[in-house]
A and B are shown apart, each in its own frame.
Chain A
Amino acid sequence: MFYREAGDFSTTYPQDSQTFPIRFDRYRYYFVLAVALLVMPFVMTDYLVNSIFLPFLIYAIAAIGLNILTGYCGQVSLGTGGFMAVGAYACYKLMTAFPDVNIFFHVIIAGGITALVGTAFGLPSLRIKGFYLAVATLAAQFFLVWLFNKVSWFYNYSASGQINAPERTVFGIEVTGPNTEAWATYLFCLVFTVGAAILARNLTRGSIGREWMAIRDMDIAAEIIGVNPLRAKLTAFAVSSFFVGISGALFFAVYLGAVEVGEVFGITKSFLVLFMIIIGGLGSIFGSFAGAAFLVVLPVVLKIVGVDLMGWPTDIVAHFQLVIVGGLIIMFLILEPHGLAQLWRVAKEKLRLWPFPH
C-alpha cells in the first residue's frame, strides 16, 4: 500500500534518477523536512535542544562523514575524534582571528582545513589496508589530540588550555555563546545537517561514489576497470574529513561552547561515531541518521526512565546504561549486521505489500 511505484511514471531522466523516485517516499521526505524546519523550532526548549537535538544533528554529520570513508570507500578510520578536534580548533582560531566574518563561513572553512589534514593522514591508505590502516588512523587520533594539548598557539595561549567560543551571530541572531536561543542553534545546525546529507547523498550516487564503492568492494578489480585508487581514496578521505570537521566545529562552537581536547575529542569519540555507523548501517546516509539518533537518544531515555520514573540511584542507572548499550550493540551485530538502515529497508518492503503479503 505504501511505497508503491504503481502509477508513478517518470517521463524525464532527472525524474527517474532523483533521490526519492517513489512519490510516497518523496512526500514523506518533504514532510519530515517541513516538520524539522517549520514546526520543531517552535517547540524547542533548552533541554530538548541541548540534550537531544544538537548532539543528534551534529553526530549525524560526523556519522555521514565517517560513513563515506568507511561505509562507501571501505577505509576503516579510528581518527574521527582527532579530525573533529581539527574542525573545532580551526573554527576557534578563525573565530578569534577574524571576528567580523560570519560564523557560517568559519564552519565551512574549518571543514575545508580538516579536509586537508584528513587527506594528509589518508596518504598511508594507498599502501596499507584494513586493520593496519585502522592503526594508522589511530595514530592520527592520538597525534592530533597531543598536538592541540601541547602547542599553545592553538588555544591562544590561555592558561587552562581550554578553548571558549565567543559570541557570534547569523542575521543578528546569536548562534554561539551563552545567550543563544534554543531554536536558533537548532536551525543553524539543521541547515548544516541537511546540507551535508544532500551533498553526501548526491556524491555517493554519482561517479565519485561509484569509484568509492568499487574500491570498497575490491580494489584490484576497481583498478583494472580504470578507477584511480589514489584519486578515489584521497577524495574519500577529503570529503569524509570535510564533514567530520564541520561536525567538530559545530560541536565546539554551538553545542558545548568550551572544549578541552583530551576529554571531548578523545578516542572514545572515535569509537562512538564508529558505533553509530555500524548500528545505523554502513554505506547508507539514512543509517548515519538512525545510528546517531539511536546512540544519542537511548542514554537520555534510559536516564529518564531509570532516574526520573523509577527513582533508582543515579550510579545504578549509569552502569545499566553501559550494559544495555553494549548488549544492544552485540545484539545488532548478530541479528542485523547491516544495521538500522536494513531494518528500514525491510520495513519499506513489507509496507509495500501490506496488507496483502502474498
Chain B
Amino acid sequence: MKMKLGTYAVAAMMAASPVMADLVFPSLSYRTGPYAAGGIPFADGYADYFTLLNERDGGIGGVEARVLECETGYNTEKGVECYEATKGEGSLVYQPLSTGITYQLIPKTTADGIPMHTMGYGRTSAANGEVFSHTFNYPANYWNGASGAINYLMSQGDIAGKKIALVYHNSAYGKEPIRTLEELSEKHGFELMLVAVDHPGQEQKSQWLQIRRERPDNVIMYGWGVMNQVAIQEAANIRYPMENFIGIWWSGSENDVLPAGDAANGYKALTFHGVGSDFPVFDDINTHVVEKGLAAGAGDQIGTVLYNRGLYAAMLAAEAAKTAQEIHGVADITPAMMRDGMEALEINEAKMTELGLPGFGPEFNVSCANHGGPGLVGMTQWDASAGTWSLVSDFSESDMDVIQPLIDEDSAAYAAENGIEAGCN
C-alpha cells in the first residue's frame, strides 16, 4: 500500500473522496474511435443491467449500484487517466474491455487493492490466481478460444496436414493465441500460417491476397473493431468459403457481419455465453429500463451479441458483489471485499434461472488457484437471411493439457519479473 508525502496530501485526498453510499462500478467504455462499434453495445449492456437491478430490486443487497462511465477510446493513456479519475470514488471492479489497458492496470490495481475482471480478454495467464491476486478472467480466455476453435474443427473432420491461417490484430490482443496455436499445431499436425493486420485494420488487401494465394483450409480471426468488418468483406471478395472462417468472440457480432450482407452467411464465431434475446431477463429490461426511458446509449443494441456480453459481465459483477456481501455480512462493500466475492463466486444453473438467464453461460466456480473459470467454448454461426446468430455446438471443454502448462509458464515468468511470491493467502 502507499504512503503519502506530508499530511497536506492526505488531507487533499480525503477531501476529494466522497462518502461511500453506493456500489460503484466504473465502466471504462469507448463510444468513439475505430473500436466504437464493439464498445457501444458492451457499455450499454453493462449499464442497463445495473439500471435494471436498481429499478427492479432496489440495487444489490439494498444498496444502489452506480455506473461510472469514462471514455477511453481504446487508448491506453486515456485508460490510465480514467482509472486514476475513478479509483478514488470507491470503484469495486474494473472492466476495461481492452487488452492494452488491462496490461497497464494489472500492476496498478494489484497495488491499489482493487479487483479487475477481464472477461474473455486481457492477459490469459491471469487465470493463475496465485500470481495475479486481483485479476480475474473467468469464464474463458483467449487460449481457451484458440483451443476451442481447433477442437471444433477436429469435430468436423481430421485436421492433420491441413493449413490453418490466423488473421490477427497486430497487438498484445492478437498475439495472445499464437503460442497456443503453435503448440496445438505440433500436437495435431496442422500447419499454422500467421497473418498480421496492423491497427486499426481498415486496409487488408495484401493480407487477403496472401490468403487467396496460400489457400488455407481454415481461417481463424482475432480481430476487433473495424478490422472485423473489413476482414469479412475481404473474405467475401476473394470468395473464401464462410463456413471455414472462424472468429474469436470479439469478431462475432452483428456489426461485423452486417456490412458484408448475404456474403457473410455461414460465418462462424466462438462464444462463451448465450446469444439472442430469448431470455426472460430481456422482458424485465424492457419493463424496467427501456419503457422508463433509462436505457443507456441509443437503446438500439438490446439483444445483440456484444450487448449480451456486457450484460453478462454486469451480471457476474453483481453476483460477485452479492457473494461478497454474504461473506462479509455488510451491504456497503469495499474493493477488498469485492475481491473476496469474486474469488468465491459460484455460478450454477439455478442461479442463472433465477436471474432470468437460464442456460446463458456455463456453470463454474472461481477459486484462488483458478481465476480463469472452466474455459467452456461454444460455436455460433451467422444466418444472413434471418439476421441472427445461433449456437451450432455445445459449450465444450478446451484442451487444458496444452493451455495449463502455458499459463503456469507465463505467470511464473511474470512472478519472477515482478518479485511476486505465488500462493494463496
Contact = CB atoms under 8 A, between A and B. Distances in A.
A163 to B, nearest CB: 10
Given A160-B175, A161-B175, A178-B110, A43 B81 contact: no
Contacts of B13: 45
Contacts of B2: 179, 181
B117 interface: no
B88 A47 contact: yes
Contacts of B424: none
Contacts of A32: none
A315 B418 CA distance: 36
B5 A51 contact: no
A45 B85 CA distance: 11
Nearest to A146: B198
B73 to A, nearest CB: 6
B84 A43 contact: no
Given A47-B85, A50-B81, A256-B77, A159 B410 contact: yes
Interface in B24-83: 29, 31-32, 36, 40, 69-71, 73, 75-77, 80-81
Interface string A313-337: 1110111001000000000000000
Contact of B111 (A178, A256, A258, A266): A178
B310 to A, nearest CB: 15
A317 B107 CA distance: 29
* Chain B interface helix/strand/loop/mixed: helix
Contact of A260 (B9, B84, B171, B417): B171
Interface centre among B70, B88, B107 (most CB of A within 10 A): B107
Contacts, number: 125
Nearest to A262: B199
A314 B31 contact: yes
A322 B179 CA distance: 39
B9 A162 contact: no
Interface string B296-337: 010000000000000000000000000000000000000000
Contacts of A315: 31-32, 36, 40, 71
A296 to B, nearest CB: 10
A229 interface: no
Contacts of B16: 45, 47
A259 B171 CA distance: 10
Given A51-B85, A314-B71, A318-B32, A159 B77 contact: no
A310 to B, nearest CB: 14
B31 A179 contact: no
B12 interface: yes
24 contacts: A42-B5, A42-B6, A47-B16, A50-B80, A149-B170, A159-B178, A162-B172, A178-B111, A183-B5, A183-B9, A255-B80, A258-B100, A258-B104, A263-B75, A263-B171, A264-B77, A266-B199, A314-B31, A315-B36, A315-B40, A315-B71, A318-B71, A318-B73, A322-B32
Instruction: List the 9 closest pairs (A to B, CB-CB), nearest first.
Output: A178-B107, A315-B31, A160-B172, A314-B71, A178-B111, A51-B81, A258-B103, A318-B32, A47-B84
Given A264-B77, A319-B32, 7 more contacts: A46-B84, A160-B103, A160-B175, A262-B170, A313-B69, A318-B32, A318-B71
